[in-house]
Structure 1
């Protein structure tokens, strides 16, 4: 989860810096004609850069990667445990950034197939990888499994439509 959080923030900062520093360069990269950016394009470019920067920082704060208290505890990493006061918004933040990366990936893929620009292709790859890692974190890293001491299987699983024959074999000798 920490790698996803820091990766998302790094990608947002990488995108924000050129938008804030020089909107003309972004316009030159993405447009077939070379021209100066208008005042409105400059405003929107810098506003988007500031927004991406804020989104990245909020991502770090709301997932608990940056502690909000002055007490530091050794060994506590990024956790999604709902009882942990350090990161009560970790799962909602993870879900929002996952949707953001998925939408950005679809959009940049559509633009890449239409325009063929390297910038859109790179953005498609990074957004898709971050969306896949975010989905993995949401599915598998967001809660602790309830592992049975007797069988070693996850208690939240059911036997429908297939039975867990290995767990049944381990319990045959213990039931008698």
Structure 2
């Protein structure tokens, strides 16, 4: 399993853990956030809509990353061309969710709202994992013969020791 698939599965798990209570028991989740005794129907509607949207985002990133193929299985199929775009958008989503959760926790820390801290920790971990996948998850570009990274260049520094060994 490559890094993009691992990120997609982890993101699916985190978003599902957030979405299922919103879909199954929205009045309980809304009662944690609203001080009114009768929960407004709009709060229940928006809780369920948010849960469904989170599940849709998770399943869409799972499908577009190429982990679940949309076509018949054959050995000649290449990786999904949308995998990096989905990885980038999911990373930006988790980063924004972490930033928002941290802001809510920071400004409401005196009321002891620990759910924001848990949400911030989970989203921050996924944002960091997604950033790592974007930077280093593209596979290995190490030469089997020399052991050097094929993607490096000499700009702005040159390898003078290697140039001295070259015979011109």
Rounded Cα–Cα distance in structure 1 between residues aligned with 2:129 and 2:83: 15
Aligned positions, number: 162
Out of 19, 22, 26, the residue aligned to residue 22 of structure 2 is 19
* Distance in 1 between residues matched to 2:130 and 2:38, nearest whole Å: 37
Q: What value does the CA root-mean-square deviation take over the aligned residues?
A: 2.5
Distance in 2 (alpha carbons) for counterparts of 1:119 and 1:88: 36
User: How high is the TM-score relative to the length of structure 2?
Assistant: 0.83
8 Å CA contact 2:30–2:44 kept in 1: the answer is: no
In the TM superposition, structure 1's runs of 4+ consecutive aligned residues that sit over 4 Å from their partners are: none
Aligned runs of 1:7-86 on 2, under 5 Å?
7-31=10-34, 33=35, 35-71=37-73, 85-86=78-79
* 1:154 pairs with 2:155: no
Point out where structure 2 has 5 or more consecutive residues left out of the alignment. Answer: none
- Deviation of 1:145 after TM superposition, in Å, equals 2.1
Who is 2:120 aligned against?
124
| Cα distance between partner residues in 2 of 1:147 and 1:136 | 22
Partner residue of 1:80? none
The whole-number CA distance in structure 2 between the counterparts of 1:72 and 1:6 is: 22
The answer (yes or no) to whether the contact 1:148–1:155 under 8 Å persists in 2 is: no
Larger relative contact order (CA 8 Å, sep ≥ 6)? 2
Please give the alpha-carbon distance, in whole angstroms, between the structure 1 residues aligned to 2:123 and 2:46.
Answer: 21
